[in-house]
């Protein structure tokens, strides 16, 4: 049986097609649904329009694959005042029902996608939120969802290193856990950093999965990216050009989370909440 899962993220809408124990392919459409939510918790008209159209196109693709378009939405829809209105609009446009997941559940989905049933931990840096979640002895022992992500940081601070630094320190203050190894980093920011470190072109999920990123390397890359303009970043081998503007703040966020949690290394994982949603809710 074939499954299609759609993640309506705050930076991008993503489709995963899965069958017989493997991910067949993933597709990404960057619509920036979370643009502006850093200022006011309201989804903007143009962002809603772009995103609804991307969902409709992926839903059509899912149906053409013979699968039901199982769709979930994360921080932007969860926190916006007009999130429900957006859900109704999507339903009307293409018949898709959005499952708006809580922050805690979002972390669990990432954990499940990256680790399956094993013990360990995960950091999911998204567009409008960041989840840190851990499992020890088969049980969840830590789960936090922070209102900080690559799109939100870019909206608030642009590429201003000092402002980014202050904003990130403030937002990650609640992170005090000692995470069980091993720790995976999922989401577009982390996977792009792994692709950049290896100069991957084209992007190759098999080479991103389990790629070790040390704290020193993540920090050094964050500072390199901050020193470049978005168009200089876009020219780097391995860069996803659609995130060349927001990647520097996202990289600094990962570097600071690693420092705060004392993580010497994280392993990149292209297996994320899309697989997690399937494993936890559909299989």
Q: Which residues sit at the interface with ligand LMR, rule CB under 6 A?
A: 7, 9-12, 74, 126-127, 187-189
- In 147-243, beta strands by DSSP E: 183-186, 212-214
From ligand LMR, Mg ion, none, which one binds at residue 69 (CB under 5 to 8 Å depending on kind)?
none
74, two tokens: 């994360």
For Mg ion, which stretch binds (CB under 5 A), given 8-16, 77-85, 175-183, 212-220? 8-16
Which one of Mg ion, ligand LMR, none interacts with residue 121, CB within 5 to 8 A by kind? none
Nearer to ligand LMR, 125 or 226 (CB): 125
In sequence order, the β-bridge partners of residue 99 are 72
Q: Which of 34, 126, 249, 276 binds Mg ion (CB under 5 A)?
A: 126
Instruction: Answer with the entry of ligand LMR, Mg ion, none that 11 interacts with (C-beta below 5 to 8 A by kind).
Output: ligand LMR
| Closest residue by Cα to residue 3 from 21, 17, 20, 24 | 17
**Mask 26-65, x = binds Mg ion (CB under 5 A)?**
----------------------------------------
Which residue sits closest to Mg ion, CB atoms considered?
126
189 binds, among ligand LMR, Mg ion, none (CB under 5 to 8 A by kind): ligand LMR
Cβ closest to Mg ion, residue 9 vs residue 69: 9
Contact call for residue 149 and Mg ion (CB under 5 A): no
What crossing angle do the helices spanning 188-198 and 247-261 adopt, rounded to 10°?
A: 100
Give the burial class of 244: count Cβ atoms within 10 A of its Cβ; 0-12 exposed, 13-18 middle, 19 or more buried: buried
Contact 77, 83 (CB under 8 A): yes
Residue 199 to residue 193: CA distance in whole angstroms: 10
How many CA atoms lie within 13 Å of 13's alpha carbon, on the beta-carbon side? 25
Q: Which residue is nearest to ligand LMR (CB)?
A: 9
């Amino acid at each position: 049986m074939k499954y299609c899962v759609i993640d309506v993220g705050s930076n991008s809408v993503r489709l995963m097609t899965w069958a017989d124990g493997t991910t067949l392919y993933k597709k990404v459409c960057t619509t920036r649904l979370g643009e502006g939510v850093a200022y006011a918790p309201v989804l903007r008209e143009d962002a809603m329009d772009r995103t609804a159209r991307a969902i409709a196109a992926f839903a059509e693709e899912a149906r053409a694959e013979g699968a039901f378009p199982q769709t979930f939405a994360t921080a932007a829809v969860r926190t916006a005042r007009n999130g429900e209105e957006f859900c109704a609009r999507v339903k009307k446009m293409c018949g898709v029902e959005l499952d708006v997941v809580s922050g805690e559940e979002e972390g669990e989905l990432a954990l499940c996608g990256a680790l399956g049933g094993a013990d360990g931990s995960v950091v999911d840096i998204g567009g409008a939120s960041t989840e840190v979640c851990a499992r020890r002895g088969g049980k969840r022992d830590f789960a936090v969802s922070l209102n900080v992500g690559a799109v939100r940081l870019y909206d608030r601070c642009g590429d201003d290193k000092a402002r980014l630094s202050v904003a990130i320190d403030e937002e990650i203050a609640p992170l005090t856990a000692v995470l069980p190894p091993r720790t995976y980093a999922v989401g577009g920011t982390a996977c792009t950093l792994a692709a950049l470190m290896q100069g991957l072109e084209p992007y190759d999920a098999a080479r991103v999965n389990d790629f070790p990123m040390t704290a020193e390397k993540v920090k050094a890359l964050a500072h390199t990216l901050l020193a470049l303009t978005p168009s200089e970043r876009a020219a780097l081998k391995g860069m996803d050009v659609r995130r060349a503007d927001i990647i520097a703040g996202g990289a600094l966020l990962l570097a600071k989370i690693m420092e705060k949690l004392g993580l010497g290394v994280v392993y990149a994982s292209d297996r994320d909440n899309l697989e997690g949603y399937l494993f936890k809710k559909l299989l």
